[in-house]
Amino acid sequence: PEAITVGELAKRMDEKGADLVKSLFKMGMAVTVNQTVDQDTAELLVTEFGHNIQRVSESDVEIGIEGDEDKDADLKPRPPVVTIMGHVDHGKTSLLDALRGTDVVAGEAGGITQHIGAYQVKTKEGTEITFLDTPGHEAFTAMRARGANVTDIVIIVVAANDGIMPQTIEAINHTKAAGVPMIIAINKMDAEGADAKNVRARLLEHEVVVEEMSGDVQDVEVSALKRTGLDELMEKITLQAELLELKANPDRAAEGTVIEAKLDKGRGPVATILVSRGTLKTGDIFVVGAESGKVRAMVNDKGEQVKEAGPSVPVEVLGLSGVPGAGDPLTVVPDEARAREVAEYRADVLQRARTTQTPTSVENMFSAMA
Ligand code: GDP
Ligand code: MG
């Protein structure tokens, strides 16, 4: 089997053909589902999607998907992952700060927090909500372009005294394109000229029909400044999360996504990983993007060292070979030899994908147009 069509590969992986095409595009290859990819690329895709590769012989690669799909019985509820979007100055950062301030535990500890790109807030009911703290749709779309759909719910902040603005509409469109439910937070209710009614009415023009207008989009009036309406917002997020029935298997080798990564002067390469399934533990060996590593230590959003991180939990991970990119997938593997192999392999295929001059490469498409 020297080549396989993207469609056939998708079928064998039990993934959507369009998702594979997207992933290939990300690697610099513009192919359709009917076109073929070579074995190296197929193997890379399989790894990228977190499936196991069974090397039957040197020249033959078979994809093992057994054991990769989680059984329904193994799935447990997981916290929702929430992104805040909206027009500049409508209060995204203020709302993130205010919501963080509602955290019972952080409040008690004197609010010692650490910026790691995401944080968790405990609700009064004892459930957790994970917020990505890079507001704005640039981060959201950048992650999505890399095939990382980590957001379960989007909060769109609209200042009640300013109304629907261009970036509000952009945020609505991005959210709709992603197929993610939105909650409208009508902020600055304390400000002069605040007009929530007008916001709701104007949202209709963009096919966003809030509950009060007999639609199904939840909305809530808040003031990040005066800290009003925050409990209600948390309740609405919880309600929306319940409708989504978000679940993951915590009892397996971890998989996750890089939220942000940097080279820290004292600590070396560090990456904030949002675990999507399984539980990440200290000592785990992993591949992340084209890097590999072993979890030397993990720090949570409260600055505490932790030994484990389950689904929807963001943690800063130390012990990487280099700095991965935001949106890169992390996969825990059985041993270091395997980690190096996969990481080198990914780096190699990415390198070749970039330099190969085939009629289907993205560079060629662009140079042909020039
Ligand atoms: P961002 O650009 O969306 O992140 O907006 P910021 O959070 O930086 O807020 C922009 C400005 O609006 C700041 O001066 C905030 O103090 C102010 N602001 C944010 N929330 C509120 C609010 O609920 N009421 C009032 N009156 N001002 C607010
Ligand atoms: Mg801001």
Which numbered ligand comes closest to the C-alpha of 157? 1
Confidence of residue 102 (pLDDT cuts 50, 70, 90): low
Three-point CA angle 77, 82, 83, nearest 5°: 160
DSSP-derived 3-state class of residue 324: coil
- Encode burial over 259-271: b for 16+ CB neighbours within 10 A, e otherwise: bbbeeeeeeebbb
The residue contributing the CA closest to ligand 1 atom 17 is 91
Ligand 1 atom nearest 98 alpha carbon: 20
Question: What pLDDT, on a 0 to 100 scale, did the predictor assign at position 355?
Answer: 61
CA–CA distance, 299 with 312 (Å, rounded to integer): 15
Quick check: helix, strand or coil at residue 182? strand
Is 97 close to ligand 1, i.e. is its CB under 6 Å away?
no
Q: Report the range of poorest mean pLDDT among 90-94, 302-306, 348-352.
A: 348-352
User: In whole numbers, what is the pLDDT of the chain averaged over residues?
Assistant: 84
Tell whether the model's pLDDT for residue 317 goes beyond 50.
yes
Evaluate whether 131 touches 103 at the Cβ level (below 8 Å).
Answer: no
Using a 6 Å cutoff on CB, does residue 225 contact ligand 1? yes
**Least confident segment among 148-152, 159-163, 350-354, 359-363:** 359-363
pLDDT at 80 over 50: yes
pLDDT tens, position by position, 189-230:
999 999 999 999 999 999 999 998 889 999 999 999 999 999
Ligand index nearest the alpha carbon of residue 185: 1
Instruction: Give the pLDDT mean for 38-59.
Output: 65
Structure tokens at 269: 């390469």
pTM, two decimals, is: 0.77
Structure tokens at 61: 């690669």
% of the chain with per-residue pLDDT over 70: 85
Closest ligand by atom to 95 CA: 1
- Highest-scoring range by mean pLDDT, 52-56, 71-75, 99-103, 358-362: 71-75
Kindly state the average pLDDT of the residues 365-369.
38
pLDDT more than 90, % of the chain:
53
52 band by pLDDT with thresholds 50, 70 and 90: low
For residues 177-196, give the mean pLDDT.
Answer: 96
- Which of 89, 140, 161 most suits a substitution to test ligand 1, by most atoms within 8 Å of the C-beta? 89
Q: What is the pLDDT of residues 262-290, one digit of tens each?
A: 999 999 999 999 999 999 999 999 999 88
Beta-strand relationship, 285-288 and 329-333: antiparallel
- Does ligand 1 have an atom closer than 6 angstroms to the CB of 168? no
Average pLDDT rounded to a whole number, residues 147-176: 92
Please, which residues have CB less than 5 A from ligand 2, an ion?
Answer: 92-93
Q: Is 190 annotated as a binding residue?
A: yes
Mean pLDDT over 302-309 rounds to: 95
For residue 239, the CA-to-ligand 1 centroid distance in Å is: 26
pLDDT at 315: 97
* 279 marked as part of a ligand binding site: no
Q: Is 174 marked within a binding site?
A: no
Give the separation between CA 49 and CA 23, rounded to whole angstroms: 9
The closest-lying atom of ligand 1 relative to the alpha carbon of residue 135 is: 4
Among the ranges 55-59, 126-130, 144-148, 349-353, which has the highest mean pLDDT value? 126-130
The answer on pLDDT for 107 being more than 50 is no
Measured from the alpha carbon of residue 94, the closest ligand is 1
Predicted pLDDT of residue 33: 85
Q: Answer yes or no: is the C-beta of 30 below 6 A from any ligand 1 atom.
A: no
Please indicate if the annotation marks 51 as binding a ligand: no
**Residue 40: pLDDT band by 50, 70, 90 thresholds?**
confident
d(CA 95, ligand 1 centre) in Å = 8
Q: What is the DSSP string of 327-366?
A: T-EEEEES-HHHHHHHHHHHHHHHHHHHH---TTBHHHHH
- Among residues 130, 140, 138, 141, the alpha carbon closest in space to that of 82 is found at 130
Q: What's the mean pLDDT in 105-125?
A: 71
Task: Band the pLDDT of 368: cuts 50, 70, 90.
Answer: very low
**Lowest mean pLDDT segment, chosen from 12-21, 101-110, 189-198, 356-365:** 356-365
Q: How confident is the model at residue 62 (pLDDT cuts 50, 70, 90)?
A: very low
Q: Which atom of ligand 1 is nearest to the CA of 86?
A: 3
Kindly state if the Cβ of 165 falls inside 6 Å of ligand 1.
Answer: no
Task: Confirm or reject: Cβ of 161 under 6 Å from ligand 1.
Answer: no
Question: Could you tell me which residues come within 8 angstroms of residue 142 by beta carbon, excluding any fewer than 6 positions away?
Answer: 326, 327
Q: Is 126 annotated as ligand-binding?
A: no
